[in-house]
Amino acid sequence: MTFDLSKIVRPKIFNLEPYRCARDDFTEGVLLDANENPHGPVVKDSNREFVLNRYPDPHQVAFKTKMSELRNSQSVFKDQKITPLSADNLCLGVGSDESIDALIRACCVPGKDKILIMTPTYGMYSICADINDVEIIKVPLIVEDNSFQMNTDKVIETLQGDSNIKIAFVTSPGNPTGALIDIASIEKILSQWQSGIVAIDEAYIDFCSTGGSAAPLVNKYPNLAVLQTLSKSFGLAGVRLGVTFTSKDLSRVLNAMKAPYNISSMASNLVLKALSSESVQTMKDNVQEIVEERERVLKALTSMENVQDTQVGGLDANFIMVRIVDGGKGNNELSKALYYRLATESGVVVRFRGTEYGCTGCLRITIGTHEENSKLIKEFEKKLKELTA
Ligand SMILES: Cc1ncc(COP(=O)(O)O)c(C=O)c1O
């Protein structure tokens, strides 16, 4: 069976003609084509480097080209002769959250089609599926050994057994697990399942300890989508910019479907600067610092009484998971109490994840600055001692 995009994407969306504006053909002159206000914005800001009273560029080719170049230069698949990424492989969204929703809307017929997720995972896949009246099939990650790796054979069996599943979301590195999913296993799915899209959510990819982004593989596998965001390693969560890498065919569909001006001029101005060589170096330096701090925080926390000393999940993101235990077993009561006391008495906010599949007793902790982490370690020990005294 070969992959046929027209059978995956909803017919109306597959045949969509993208919204066109006069600005697609003419960008200069007396611009009286888009009902803008020639007097400028009501907010005066002399430091601004971008025009606000005109609609932003719907295509964002400069950013897409730079992003493709960055991921091409970092490719771990250079020995394979794959066509390099180019602007036509990208669709931009208002954060990955919009990219997730767009992919579901493109492929899943409400009330009929389904997505597959691997629990525990990021919550927005389920929320977007519910909003779109799309059923959710869950295949849990392997939690018994704390590895939180994918149950590949079970995933393939489930996908092949249900022709209404249109997207399989793989979060790699995982949230809240922090574990990069083995790329060979993902490629096995890509080769053996052709009736839907494998969407790898790589929000945390720049923090992974080994391997790298699967984005360059979109020109090898037409059934692959790779989602990235500028919210994490680039430190631009407030800007809201997500990137979907796909085959050029699927990218055409996603771009035709999106609101034409979804990326604001402010966002586009900032994210283009974020890809200058200087900013990319800063990103790498910050990632390096976070990776080093991640080691320190993990060591300090897992050496405390009532914290499981074996690693939970992976070390591939800008957070760690630790399991609060009592009598050797994950304990949600203690974990939740610690979470609450840390927030209310110490002013340190972490995330309680104890009710997620395989995460009993777990707290997810983002790696902060050196000072923030030191405070976390100190308060964590203090509050845990108070609670277990
Ligand atoms: C796995 C994962 N995907 C996507 C997102 C959302 O990213 P964005 O800020 O780009 O919407 C997050 C945010 O925490 C995440 O953890």
pLDDT given for residue 1 in this prediction: 67
Output the CA 266–ligand 1 centroid distance in Å: 20
CA gap 357, 196 in Å, rounded = 25
Query: In ligand 1, which atom is closest to the CA atom of 242?
Result: 10
285 Cβ contact list (under 8 Å, min separation 6): none
To test ligand 1's pocket by mutation, which of 229, 234, 316, 353 has the most ligand atoms within 8 angstroms of CB? Answer: 229
What average pLDDT does the structure give for the chain? 96
3-state secondary structure of 328: coil
What CATH number was assigned to the domain covering residues 5-275?
A: 3.40.640.10
Percent of the chain residues past pLDDT 70, beyond the cut = 100
pLDDT tens readout for residues 205-259: 999 988 899 999 999 999 999 999 999 999 999 999 999 999 999 999 999 999 9
pLDDT tens readout for residues 23-55: 999 999 999 999 999 999 998 877 788 899 999
| Average pLDDT over every residue of 124-143 | 98
Query: In ligand 1, which atom is closest to the CA atom of 229?
Result: 10
Q: Between 48 and 164, name the one with better pLDDT.
A: 164
- Kindly give the pairing relationship between strand 224-229 and strand 329-330: unpaired
What are the strands of the beta sheet with 319-323, ordered from one edge?
A: 319-323, 362-366, 351-352
Please identify, in words, the CATH class of the domain defined by 280-388: alpha beta
pLDDT tens readout for residues 287-316: 999 999 999 999 999 999 999 998 899 999
Instruction: Say if 5-275 and 280-388 have the same CATH topology.
Output: no
List the beta bridge partners of residue 329.
Answer: 326
- For the chain, give every domain's residue range: 5-275, 280-388
**Of 179, 135, 136, nearest in space to 312 by CA:** 179
If one counts every other C-beta atom within 10 angstroms of the C-beta of residue 382, the result is: 14
CA gap 109, 9 in Å, rounded = 9
Residue nearest to atom 5 of ligand 1 (CA): 96
The tokens of 151 are what?
């149950």
pLDDT given for residue 253 in this prediction: 98
Q: Is residue 162 predicted with pLDDT exceeding 90?
A: yes
Residue 237 beta carbon below 6 angstroms from any ligand 1 atom: yes
> How many CA atoms lie less than 13 Å away from 349 in the CB half-sphere?
0
Q: Is residue 6 predicted with pLDDT exceeding 80?
A: yes
pLDDT tens readout for residues 329-381: 999 999 999 999 999 999 999 999 999 999 999 999 999 999 999 999 999 99
